Structure 1
Amino acid sequence: MKKIAAFVVLSGIAFMLVNCSGSEKKTETKNGDIKLPVFTLTDSSSYDFGTIQEGEIVEHVFYFKNDGPYPLILNNITSSCGCTTPEWPREPISPNAASSIKVRFNSKGKSGPQVKTVTVYANTDPAYSELRLRGIVNAAPKPEAAK
């Protein structure tokens, strides 16, 4: 009886695996056209702001285009820390239209090498893309003690 039960379970698992691997991708039609928007950066996904003094604010604009046949929706954008603030369009981006994401990094309380990641979540495949700000923050001079 145990052998029969094991055979039934293994047959069910094998059937599910074959069934899943044989299905077409939902993001493509039979002729291979992509059925999702395509988030394409028109410049680099990384920006090196060089060397700045602690307390300075750096802003950079990442430009992108929707290279897909359907409207692109940026669902959410998160940053690796509270010192980095993204601004993005809330309305759908039409096919072949361009737009931008502005990222602001506040270096107050930061010093040394910095790499800040901004993750863009959208109705694309893959479902997210990463943008990076990097550079070096020189520490602010320490105030001299009163004599």
Structure 2
Amino acid sequence: MKRTVNIAILLVVTFSFFSVAPFKTNTFDSKVAVIKFDTEVVDYGTITQNSDGVRQFTFTNTGDAPLLITNVKTSCGCTVPSYSKAPILPGDSGALEIKYDTKRLGAFTKTVTVTSNAEGGNKILKIKGTIIASK
């Protein structure tokens, strides 16, 4: 008798799980920002010491939501980023300015990590080149 009651309760509970209405999916806003850089590597080439170290990474928001860059981090203190904190609307372009300290001699390769609300998370960009002594 006890076993029959337990089975009956188990069946009632099991059928109640199947009768629950399904959850709605895709109720969130599916618009996303997509950041598309013209180039992900800026090559300074061979430049002389103490020359202009400013270069730009240009990009376009190819998504359908505003793009917001929240942080730009470089791999060392010799590279200083500058960027707009304002949202980049869909279809609009922007620029990320990088200034490398050209007092240092020799070859260099540095990374720049861009944090934004864009699809795919962080984007890693690179700068490279060689600095020779000025004559």
Q: Give the TM-score normalised by the residue count of structure 2.
A: 0.72
1:36 to 28, 32, 37: 32
**d(CA) in 1 for partners of 2:83 and 2:39?**
17
Shift of 1:57: 3.3
Give the SS at the match of 2:128: strand
Aligned-partner residue type, residue 44 of structure 1: T
Deviations 1:112-139 (A, max 9, x none): 2101111110002221112211111124
Contact 1:34–1:68 (8 Å) recurs in 2? no
C-alpha RMSD of matched pairs (Å): 2.2
**d(CA) in 2 for partners of 1:66 and 1:97?**
6
Shift of 1:140: 6.0
Structure 2: tracts of 5 or more residues without a match: 1-24
1:97 to 82, 92, 95: 92
Which structure's CA Rg is the greater one? 2
Q: Give the TM-score normalised by the residue count of structure 1.
A: 0.67
**d(CA) in 2 for partners of 1:92 and 1:40?**
15
Shift of 1:72: 0.3
Aligned-partner residue type, residue 55 of structure 1: N
Aligned-partner residue type, residue 88 of structure 1: Y
Structure 1: tracts of 5 or more residues without a match: 1-25, 142-147
Q: 1:1-147 residue pairs with structure 2 within 5 A?
A: 35-41=31-37, 43-108=38-103, 110-139=104-133
**d(CA) in 2 for partners of 1:76 and 1:94?**
18
Question: What is the aligned partner in structure 1 of residue 14 from structure 2?
Answer: none
Question: What is the aligned partner in structure 1 of residue 22 from structure 2?
Answer: none
Structure 1 residues 122, 53: closer, same or farther in 2, change over 3 A? same
Determine what percentage of the aligned residue pairs are the same residue. 32
